[in-house]
Each structure stands twice: as C-alpha cells, then as structure tokens.
Structure 1
Amino acid sequence: MTATTDFTHDPAAKSWVSGAADHPDFPVQNLPLAIFSTDDGRIRGGVAIGDYILCLPASAELLTGEARKAAEAADALHLNAMFAMGPAVVTELRHQLFRLLTDTSRQAELEKHLHRDDVTGLHVPFHVGDYTDFYTGIHHAENIGSLFRPDNPLLPNYKYVPIGYHGRSSSIRVSPAQVKRPSGQTKAPDAEAPSFGPSKRLDYELEMAIWIGQGNDLGEPIPVGEAESHIAGISILNDWSARDIQAWEYQPLGPFLAKNFHSTVSPWVVTLDALAPFRSAQPARPEGDPAPMDYLAHDTSAAAFDVQMEVFLSTAKMRAGGDAPHRLSTGPMTAMYWTAAQLVAHHSVGGCNMQTGDLLGTGTLSSGEDGGEGSLIELTRGGKQAIALPNGETRTFLEDGDEVIIRAYAEREGQPRIGLGECRGTVVG
C-alpha cells in the first residue's frame, strides 16, 4: 500500500501562490493533475494550486531528471504518456513541484507559468481506451435489490466476486457537461408490449473514478499486493442512468443503452500520494460474510480512502430565482465493499491487459443511512416518494434543465483539506 506520508504532506507548508494556503480544494499538499487549454489554443498538462493552474511543460526547464521528463511528457492532449512512466516518476514530479511552489526564492521563475484568467477549458484527463463500471457500493446494492427482491436484496455472488460491466468509453465527457436525455425502449408493468421514446426516469449515480496508470501485459495478471502501483489516481464520476430503459433491457446481459449515452468525470486526477494522509481501514465485513479468495486477499488496514462525497441539485427554476443548489445526499467512499486494489486485481486475473487511462468506476456509493443515498431511485424509493425542494418543486427523477453537482473532498484533523473539485452535468432535451 502507498500510504506513506512525506514532506509534501506537512500541514505547516504554505505555497507562495496567492490564495493557495487556505484553498478548500487545492492547497500545495494536493497538486492534482489535469489537461487544460488556454486562449492561445494550446492544450497541455497542468497542476492545480489554489485558483491557478501551473503549466507542466512550460515549467519543465526548472525541473531535473525524471521529473523533467514527466513534465515534458505532459505536453500532450492527455496524461497517458506521463503516467505510463510509472508511479515513482510521478512521485518525483510531485516532490520537485512542491519544493518550487513553497520556495519564495523560485517565485519569479515559476509564476509566469501560472494560468487563471486565460484558461478556456479543462478536458478528460486521459485518452480512455476502456471503461469498466463496478458495483462495489453494498448499501446501494441492498437498496436497489430491496426494491425488486425485498426478501433477497443481494444476489448470491455479490460477496464473492467484484461485479462489473464494460461501459462505453467514447461517451465519457468532462465536467461541466450537457447531458442529452436518451431515448430507448421501455415497458410499463401493465403494458403488453414495449414502447420507444425519451427516458422518463433519468437518474444520476454518485461514484468515484479510479484511473489506471501503468498497465500489464496480456495474460499477466496484476497481483492484489501490487495493484495500487498501477493506479494513477481518482476523480469524481457520475454514471448517468436511464432507469426505465435499464429495467427492460438489463436481463440477461446487463446494462446497455441505459448507460452508454453519457458518463461525466471531474477534470482533476488526485494521486494516491496526495491521499496518503487520508487512508483508512477497509470497513470490516459483517460477521458470516465469506473471506475474499486468495487472489483478492490483502492487507486492508489502510486500503480505503476517507473521501466524503456530496450531491446537489439545481433546477432551471432555482437558477432563475437565484437559489443555491440543494444538497440531496452525502456519503463516504469507504462504502465500497471491495477495495480499489481488489478491483484492479480481479479485472486482470483472467489475463486482461489493463492500459494507461483505463477508467474503473466504483459503482454508486450510498452510506447505508437516510440522507446517504447515491441516486434518485433510492431517494425516491423507486419513484414512489417525490423529493420536496426548498422552492416548492418536487422531483422523482431528473427533468430537463436540472443540473447535478457532485463534490468530493478528504478532510482529517491536523491535515489541510484537499478536494477533487466538482463534477457537473445539466440535462437537456
């Protein structure tokens, strides 16, 4: 496990960049990576520091050795080449950037490479060759299962094998995004035949994205004890779902059109190095649950990430009235039944070759308590109980003009809070 802290986690460290010291998301202890563009048309890799982005390729001349090579590799449309160099190289880049950003004697050299007002956009940080969405949120699985199988919410395989399906990488978009309402076949319970049209039960899913750094060769599985060295970092993920389309199509092969129309990711990749102070033990399995099979068994004393997530809804009427977004729910990333390392190990155990930039979704993460539901289908009990919003509107599922905002952060006493930014998407007809 890469849970070791070092000088880059010093809570007393401050950056000379204005506003970075008390920034709720991007203090110098974070340094998440992204792909950004400026008004001159350049698309390059960068690092967040406060309200600014430090251009990596432009700063390469101030770096040495492998860190310099990593920064030069970020002169690209994606971060794939940089993360393919391996975790030790990315760590060295973090170390050297931290020193530069906390050394006031280097301010004049570096601040000319900071961008703020001229940033015109952020992009999906990787070229995503493949996307797999898991189903690790056990409370979500129980909530969904209880809607359809009240006496047996979890299927027999759930606690033995990490469940997942292959999603559509071509429809992954970066926040903020417009999400076009999908159409497909649906079948009402009392109808003799299905009908075709726009989804009436459009939903969000509160998830986290796990990015693959270095991959593995075809036929050579990644051992669970080495899995985290293949993880580049994490972002926020909203895997939008058309529940009515899903209900009709998912048997026997699982989600298809209900999931392939759009998935939104936040632009910032928060590395495992940055998350080291926020590690926690994987929640203990309930008494009587089976132990993981040998290929999934590993030390879980620091295998979870103490990341808190929040989801907000802003309707068109709310925005027109100047109303703040309404928080629907909040929940922890520790709601995962399987660890990130177990997901990587299981995905590759049959010989699948993971590649740099592959995206693994955690699945919807619900807390198991009221107010911790990770989707509208849970919050509304399958659409039977409408949510009342502060301005008098109600919702069972998403309507055109609704904006879903997901935020995530890690916070612990004695440590500066670090954030993952936002994942925003607005539904359009």
Structure 2
Amino acid sequence: MPPFDVPEGDPFGPHNLPYGVFSPPGSSERTVGVRLGDHVLDAGAAAHALGSPYASLLARPTLNPLLAAGRTAWSDVRRALTAWVTVPAHRETVEPLFHPLSEVTLHLPFEVADYVDFYASENHARNVGRIFRPDAADSLTPNWKHLPIGYHGRSGTVVVSGADVVRPSGQRKAPADAAPVFGPSVRLDIEAEVGFVVGVPSERGRPVPLGDFRDHVFGLCLLNDWSARDVQAWEYVPLGPFLGKSFATSVSAWITPLDALDEARVAPPERTHELLPYLDDAGEEPGGYDLRITVTINGHTVSEPPFSTMYWTAAQQLAHTTVNGASLRTGDLYGSGTVSGPAERERGSLLELTWNGRDPLELPDGKRTFLEDGDVVTLSAWAPGPDGVRVGLGEVTGRVVPAV
C-alpha cells in the first residue's frame, strides 16, 4: 500500500505525525523521521526537497535541535509536514522519501538531559499506602495533596523501546532477615507512565509558571520506569529511590507533539485541598490528558490505566520542578509517575495488581507476582482526536533478561 493511502481511522494518520529518529535500511546514519501509518517519512530529506527553512533542524541525528527551536518552529514544521503528506501536489516529491516502518531501525529520539520521576496518581499513592502502611489513619502522606512528589533519576539509563532490560542486582533485606544479602532482584516490577519532553530551556533562578507549560514542553511519550521493589524497599529510607530505579527507564521511539493532543485535554480530578498560588491551575486551560493505556505481559492484557485520573498535571509538575530556581534543559524528561485508576484492572504496577505478591496474576503461561526472565512488557495507548479519530501513541516494550 502506498504510504499516503493510510486507512481511514488509522491512529497514526496525518492528524498525528509523531517524531522519531531512524536509520534507513542498510545504513547506520540517523535522521529525524515522522510516522504516517506504517511508514516513516525522512523529514529532513523532505524539507530539503521542498525548500523548507527548517531543513537544518530536521536533517539531524537527534530531535534536540528541533526541541530547542521553540513553539513557533514546532507549529510551522507541523503545519508543513501536514501539507507534505496530504496535499496531492507534493506527492511526487515526497513519496520516494518514505520507508516502511518494518524496515527501519528506530533509535532513542532525543538526547536526554535530566530525568525526573513523579508520583502523581492518587489511586496509586493510596494503594501503596494501604500496602505498606495498613494501619495508618490516612494512606496518603501529609504532603501529598500539597505538592507533586518526585525524585531525580538517571538520564544515562533511559533506553528506547525494544531494548532488553537486564535484571538488576543489589542489596535486599526482608523484614525477618537478620542481615541484607546481595543478588539479582526477585521483585522486578513495571511502572506504566507518561513521559514529557522539554524543548525550550529556562534560565536558572527563574521559575516556569503554569501558563508557560506549552512554551517549554514539546510533546509526550509512553514510559516504563522499571522498578526493583526489593532493592528499593531496603535502600529508600531516608533519601528515597536509588539503585532500585536507576538501572533502566524505557521510552517510546515516537514523541507525540502536544499540538496533536488538543482534543484529548481534560480537567484533572477535583482538588480537595487549597493549592499554593504557583500550583493553582483553576484559571488555566485544562491540564489533564485523556490517554487510554494498555499494559500487556507476553501479549496478555493485565491492566488498562486511565491517564485522565492523574491528580497532578504535567504543567504543575513542571512548575514545581522549577519553583526553587532549577533550570530546564533541552532534552529534559520527566515521568508522570505510575498511572493507576480506581478499578483493580486499572492499576499500573505489579505491586498493586498483585497487592505486593499476595494475589498472583493468572497469565496463559503461568502465575506472576513479579516479572520473570524472558517476560516481555508492552505499553500502548491512544487518545481522542479530531472528528472521533484516535491519536495513537508509540508503544514502549522491553524484555527482561537475566542478571549478568
């Protein structure tokens, strides 16, 4: 099928056009690509052939130059790309610049600067509180409704979808053990998340207000923040996650621009506590996104977390990240935190789905409490688009391999 002949209703039609970085068949050279259906357009080559002033931003081995160019450039490039793949007059020039998706090699689409992970789902936070603090009067910590809780991760271990995840080793100690032991994690978990990609940097010492979110954030992608729960449980007091989180974070090969998700914007859940002014979004445009996520293990669906239930929005997370004067850099990535809905089949981690191993999942290939070597985890998602069409998000998948 010719690349322009995308079936009606395809979630990767011209209304979407996510960005990635690919190598053509038989080449190791990397360049920016845009997905249309089951094909990838060489965006740099198309821009050059059609005389675009943005050709130099697109004929690059990474998205970072485009990310740094700012919102006007993002809008101009998206408008041009839409015309290139829909206007018949461009077909003869553009059609030879497409490659079948199945024949290209996809790469990490941007150079990751800093990585931050949040804890923004009230359903997830309450589930975790009930698991580990069952006798507490409130399953949430006292600060949870007042600020987006987060921690700094390790950008060097962010990997693209399809990369294997080596089972991490570290110290672990069960409550009944006399001393810690060292070895591979036996409680390897997933965290179904959404990642936000920063384009325009900010000046150190100047916070980024809520209203400037779309001037700094280019787009979003699916993200799996793999977690070694046993390593994490022993190490996290008093300073929080470290080795239990830093070994791998998987992201999609495709970054969906925010402009493709205008119809998916929704209001976040009702606030139950008064927010400080820098987080008060009552007068801002709706900050939530209606993303429908599916989690599979070895091809079997185990959860469908709804992103629309997230208490803290991406704009609030960005404002909180910078309110102390911390600066943004092009390529910064921040994760939403585990996405979990109110229903049991909407929980975004095995910790919750199995209630910390108490209630194993029944899969076609056997029971699971946590991940086994060889397991393949895939996150996929879609969002409402224009005229009832779905906007697809690029999937993120990873296979667990034994510890080295």
TM category (shorter chain) comes to over 0.9
Q: RMSD of the TM alignment (CA)? A: 1.6
Q: Please point out which of 384, 389, 393 is paired with 2:363.
A: 389
Q: Please point out which of 70, 74, 81 is paired with 2:65.
A: 81
CA distance in 1 between counterparts of 2:239 and 2:101 reads 47
Q: How is 1:120-269 mapped onto 2 (pairs within 5 angstroms)?
A: 120-150=104-134, 151=136, 152-269=138-255
Q: How does the TM-score come out when normalised to structure 2? A: 0.95
Q: Is 2:314 aligned against 1:331?
A: no
Q: Is 2:297 aligned against 1:297?
A: no
Which residue is equivalent to 2:339? 365
Q: CA deviation at 1:93?
A: 0.7
Which residue is equivalent to 1:272? 258
Q: CA deviation at 1:118?
A: 7.6
Q: Is 2:388 aligned against 1:415?
A: yes
Which residue is equivalent to 1:9? none
SS at 1:36's partner residue? strand
Give unmatched runs, 5+ long, in structure 2.
none
Q: Which moved more, 1:368-377 or 1:300-309?
A: 300-309
Q: CA deviation at 1:126?
A: 1.1
SS at 1:177's partner residue? coil
Q: CA deviation at 1:182?
A: 0.3
Q: Please point out which of 34, 42, 46 is paired with 2:29.
A: 42
Deviation string 1:244-274 (CA, Å, 9 cap, x unpaired) is 0000000100000000000100011101110
Q: CA deviation at 1:117?
A: 6.2
Q: Please point out which of 10, 33, 36 is paired with 2:19.
A: 33
Which residue is equivalent to 1:54? 41
Q: Per the alignment, do residues 328 and 117 of structure 1 end up closer, same or farther by CA in structure 2, a change over 3 Å counting?
A: closer
Give identity over the alignment, percent: 42
CA distance in 2 between counterparts of 1:186 and 1:395 reads 20
Q: Is the 8 A contact 1:45 1:78 kept in 2?
A: yes
Q: CA deviation at 1:301?
A: 4.8
CA distance in 1 between counterparts of 2:150 and 2:232 reads 15
Equivalent pairs, count? 398
Q: CA deviation at 1:119?
A: 4.0
CA distance in 2 between counterparts of 1:166 and 1:159 reads 20
Q: How does the TM-score come out when normalised to structure 1? A: 0.90
Give unmatched runs, 5+ long, in structure 1.
1-14, 315-324
Q: Is 2:94 aligned against 1:107?
A: no
Q: Per the alignment, do residues 209 and 327 of structure 1 end up closer, same or farther by CA in structure 2, a change over 3 Å counting?
A: same
Which residue is equivalent to 1:11? none
Runs of 4+ in structure 1 deviating by more than 4 angstroms, as ranges, are none
Q: CA deviation at 1:23?
A: 5.6
Which residue is equivalent to 1:379? 353
SS at 2:61's partner residue? coil
SS at 2:257's partner residue? coil
Q: Which moved more, 1:210-219 or 1:331-340?
A: 331-340
CA distance in 2 between counterparts of 1:22 and 1:74 reads 28
Q: CA deviation at 1:21?
A: 3.6
Q: Is the 8 A contact 2:211 2:284 kept in 1?
A: no
Q: Is the 8 A contact 1:19 1:51 kept in 2?
A: no
Q: Is the 8 A contact 1:16 1:103 kept in 2?
A: no
CA distance in 2 between counterparts of 1:310 and 1:155 reads 28
Q: CA deviation at 1:389?
A: 1.2
Q: Which moved more, 1:413-422 or 1:301-310?
A: 413-422
